């Protein structure tokens, strides 16, 4: 497949780097202001990424030129935005209207405008996949697809590595939230502005996507009941531990709704993953519970999910 990649950050860059290994070719790579496109000659991904890393221009073309290249799959890896999910949504719209496939790493369009995306897909010869938007490298959506969404009754999971790292450290060391957050920022586990992760928004967006898949649409972030971890004191973790439990930020998606919040889970149970690991429990009607655990974020990890999607097209 010929890939046009929008977004040259950790995920987009890794997709570009790994595409060859998966038997695909990169014909365009763009960030918000510049693009490197293959016209007659092959695009040199390595040097384009090196230029981008050293703050030089990624390429000399206008990002809009990406849509004029001869590509099969648009990989949308620009940052997630809320509300109208722009510009991600317009990128999806443009590719589908040209009958191209779209693989999303960007959560916005399928969390905030799922019905619109599906309507555009119905009109197009292309299709939309978004495995990378939920749980990074963990095959969540493809597992649901394999079980058929109708046979899945609920999906629950620890879906944010930053929040999980903080709760794990707080429980292990008996430290305050603020202290552990600063440590996580020093380690690069938490962003300078960690709000999106610790207030539950990121996990909620993933669960909204899952609920949309289960119910075939109907949910956006404002339908989710979300509580973050900022108010969990060490004393609560200590009480939980005394009772053989711990606290994790758990998201839950069903056809009825989306809830995210700190939950008590058995300390030695499957849900009590530690550090930045994620875990997903898929509750099925006929096959009990299925679990998948692994790295829910990271450039090469998420790129793996993108490239798996490309392979499924």
Partner 1 sequence: MSDEYASGSSTTGTAADSEVEADDATAADREGNSPETDGGQQAYTVRLELVDEPGELLRALAPISEHGGNLLSIHHERGNITPRGHIPVEVDLECVPARFDDVVDGLREAGINVIQAGPERYGEELTVVLVGHLVETDLSDSLSRIEGEAHAGVLDLSLNAPDGTDAISSARLRLAVDTGRRETVLDALRSLADEKGLSLIEPLSGGEI
Contacts with partner 1 by CB under 8 A lie at 154, 156, 227, 231-236, 238-240, 242-243, 245, 247, 250, 252, 261-266, 269-271, 281, 283, 289
Query: What DSSP element (H or E) covers 279?
Result: strand 277-284
Rounded Cα–Cα distance for residues 89 and 294 (Å): 28
- Pairing state of beta strands 25-30 and 2-6? parallel
User: 313 CB contacts (<8 Å, ≥6 apart)?
Assistant: 1, 72, 73, 101, 103, 127, 129
Per annotation, catalytic residue among 24, 65, 101, 206? 206
Least distance from partner 1 to the Cβ atom of residue 131, Å = 23
Rounded Cα–Cα distance for residues 202 and 108 (Å): 10
Q: How many Å separate Cα 150 from the centre of its chain?
A: 23
How many Å from the N-terminal Cα to the C-terminal Cα in the chain? 9
DSSP string, 80-119: P--TT-TTHHHHHHHHHHTT-EEEE--SHHHHH-HHHHHH
Structural tokens at position 200: 């539950």
Task: Single out the residue of 17, 18, 16, 51 nearest to residue 34, CA to CA.
Answer: 51
Annotated active-site residue 206? The verdict is yes
User: Which residue shows structure tokens 């509580």?
Assistant: 227
Q: List residues with catalytic annotation.
A: 206
């Amino acid at each position: 497949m010929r890939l046009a990649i929008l977004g040259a950050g950790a995920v987009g860059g890794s997709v570009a780097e790994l595409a060859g290994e998966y038997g695909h070719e990169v014909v365009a790579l763009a960030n918000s202001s510049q693009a490197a496109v293959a016209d007659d000659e092959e695009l040199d991904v390595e040097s384009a990424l090196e230029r981008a890393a050293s703050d030089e221009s990624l390429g000399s073309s206008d990002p809009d030129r990406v849509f004029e290249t001869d590509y099969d799959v648009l990989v949308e890896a620009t940052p997630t935005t809320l509300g109208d999910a722009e510009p991600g949504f317009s990128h999806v719209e443009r590719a589908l209207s040209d009958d191209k496939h779209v693989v999303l790493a960007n959560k916005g369009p399928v969390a905030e405008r799922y019905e619109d995306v599906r309507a555009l897909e119905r009109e197009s010869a292309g299709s939309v996949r978004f495995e990378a938007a939920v749980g990074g490298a963990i095959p969540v959506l493809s597992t649901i697809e394999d079980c058929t969404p109708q046979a899945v009754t609920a999906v629950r999971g620890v879906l944010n590595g930053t929040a999980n790292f903080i709760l794990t450290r707080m429980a292990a060391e008996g430290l305050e939230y603020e202290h552990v957050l600063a440590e996580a920022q020093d380690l690069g586990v938490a962003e300078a502005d960690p709000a999106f992760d610790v207030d539950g928004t990121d996990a909620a967006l993933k669960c909204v996507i899952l609920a949309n898949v289960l119910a075939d649409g109907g949910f956006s972030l404002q339908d989710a009941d979300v509580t973050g971890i900022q108010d969990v004191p060490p004393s609560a973790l200590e009480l939980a531990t005394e009772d053989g439990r711990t606290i994790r930020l758990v998201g839950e998606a069903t056809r009825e709704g989306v809830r995210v919040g700190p939950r008590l889970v058995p300390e030695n149970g499957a849900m009590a993953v530690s550090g930045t690991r994620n875990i997903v429990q898929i509750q099925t009607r006929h096959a009990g519970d299925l679990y998948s655990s692994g790295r829910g974020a990271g450039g090469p990890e998420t790129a793996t999910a993108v490239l798996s999607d490309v392979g499924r097209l």
